[in-house]
Structure 1
């Protein structure tokens, strides 16, 4: 007669494995590559924050937009608006990078990525993590991740600014419309991808119609919800692609401004 679990308490115990994992594949490769990719972006962002070569007409480096300082060149200002005077001693990127940076830092996908690659919590599926206890996001500092939805609103503004700057890049150095160069195309593609990543956010999907009980009563919001849901399915891809398009666009403008790269003009 077979013993039941109640009759044999030893059956309720989990297998005691001394090995960290029984996986034989290169499970460590994904967290290592993720760590390298995110770290490179952070290093570049810190450098760009203090680099003064953020503008050459008609291009504004994305990491410095919007340029809110009175010391900003007139062409770098959004609608000529510069509310902060000369008393602020640091470059404009210090003021504006907090919004998109906070948005990405608290993003649901990026949280999974850097939890696994930086904190090894856990580094991969079926791999034991080195931490003794798990508290999730229920206490400081991780409970602050809940501000993600508020960073979303700020990121929408930044996306609008980058779209504005991409449109303004169709002007020449004298402010006349009809210019187009490599920088114009790069800034335009970046604006589209940044906007797509922002709108694919889980918080955006919830804000649009996630709290509705009856979609049939709100057909327009339901349609928006459907569009955002399609973008949301590609949130991971858009997160990675937009992260490097904004880095590349920012670097391109700075290289042109420094005279290292010559912008090719089509007309």
Structure 2
């Protein structure tokens, strides 16, 4: 019989001695697996699409729009474009897709994000797959060992994600030019870019790391009214972090797809004014 100091083990994960010795993996009768299955399907679809687009190395620019996957484009093999940062800092030795240079920064930010950790822990690793469903692995070490201990670099990826968001904001401003680079244009692509950057910023600043940077380590909020107000705003966004994570992920893919369709000549960018 298990004691308080000896964990009760069955064929389905680890249970503490203070828990009921239930041998079944769970007692739930609802379709609890739909949530993690849908999460896994959504993330897998984005991974497949973004991998294809990142390695395609083509059709990522349609004046004045540049795909968010390829900005900033800092290799010599970049398609010449005036709509975004295009400095050949990496020279001609970089022969792979230029999207692979900086794509790792927003990708690392999302992979180490608290919400995405929950999403892929449940959806792919089943650790655990849902509430009230036992941990299926025989040993649980959390994020104390390699490779999951690398999740602690999330704050540093946050700083990088802010830089990328600033660059994409610049790209969005340039989207208000027409194909001849005259200001005052607004096409359907411009609207997509505006929505996309708004969602990216909302997701980025709703991050738990941003919330801690803004209002963390303060003993008296009354002595820091500005930081307290900012902390309150970020906290309200943080409550919608999951929704913003998915919305921004979808908007990035749709924006890239729109640029791809324009670049391949599938249709012309409808002009709104």
CA drift at 1:77: 3.5
Equivalent position of 2:82 in the other structure: 75
Equivalent position of 2:111 in the other structure: 105
Q: Does 1:141 align with 2:147?
A: yes
In the alignment, the residues of structure 2 paired with residue 236 and residue 225 of structure 1 have an alpha-carbon distance, to the nearest angstrom, of: 18
Q: Deviations over 1:3-52 (max 9, x none)?
A: xxxxxxxxx87433332111110011111101000101111111111121
Q: Deviations over 1:58-92 (max 9, x none)?
A: 000111111112332131442x5332212210122
- In the alignment of these two chains, the number of paired residues is 255
* Cα distance change, pair 261–14 in 1 and its aligned pair in 2 (3 A): same
Q: Which structure has the larger Rg over C-alpha atoms?
A: 1
In the alignment, the residues of structure 1 paired with residue 19 and residue 226 of structure 2 have an alpha-carbon distance, to the nearest angstrom, of: 51
In the alignment, the residues of structure 2 paired with residue 168 and residue 59 of structure 1 have an alpha-carbon distance, to the nearest angstrom, of: 8
Equivalent position of 1:242 in the other structure: 248
Equivalent position of 2:31 in the other structure: 26
In the alignment, the residues of structure 2 paired with residue 245 and residue 113 of structure 1 have an alpha-carbon distance, to the nearest angstrom, of: 19
* Cα distance change, pair 62–238 in 1 and its aligned pair in 2 (3 A): same
Q: Does 1:49 align with 2:48?
A: no
* Cα distance change, pair 204–13 in 1 and its aligned pair in 2 (3 A): closer
Alignment partner of 1:64 out of 70, 75, 96: 70
CA drift at 1:95: 0.7
Q: Does 1:89 align with 2:95?
A: yes
Equivalent position of 1:39 in the other structure: 44
Alignment partner of 1:200 out of 197, 203, 206: 206
Give 1 or 2: higher helix fraction. 1
- SS of the aligned residue for 1:74 comes to coil
Alignment partner of 2:173 out of 167, 181, 195: 167
Q: Residues 77 and 98 of structure 2 are in contact (CA less than 8 Å); yes or no, is this contact kept in structure 1? A: no
CA drift at 1:216: 1.7
* Cα distance change, pair 177–29 in 1 and its aligned pair in 2 (3 A): same
Q: Residues 33 and 130 of structure 2 are in contact (CA less than 8 Å); yes or no, is this contact kept in structure 1? A: yes
Q: Deviations over 1:94-136 (max 9, x none)?
A: 0111010000000001001100010000011111232001000
In the alignment, the residues of structure 2 paired with residue 64 and residue 45 of structure 1 have an alpha-carbon distance, to the nearest angstrom, of: 11
Equivalent position of 1:4 in the other structure: none
- Stretch of structure 1 that moved more, 52-61 or 207-216: 207-216
* Cα distance change, pair 179–117 in 1 and its aligned pair in 2 (3 A): same
In the alignment, the residues of structure 1 paired with residue 21 and residue 212 of structure 2 have an alpha-carbon distance, to the nearest angstrom, of: 42
What is the TM-score with the length of structure 2 in the denominator?
A: 0.90
Q: Residues 68 and 77 of structure 1 are in contact (CA less than 8 Å); yes or no, is this contact kept in structure 2? A: no
What is the TM-score with the length of structure 1 in the denominator?
A: 0.92
CA RMSD of aligned residues (A): 1.4
Structure 2 unaligned regions, length at least 5? 1-16
Q: Residues 84 and 170 of structure 2 are in contact (CA less than 8 Å); yes or no, is this contact kept in structure 1? A: no
Equivalent position of 1:218 in the other structure: 224
Equivalent position of 1:186 in the other structure: 192
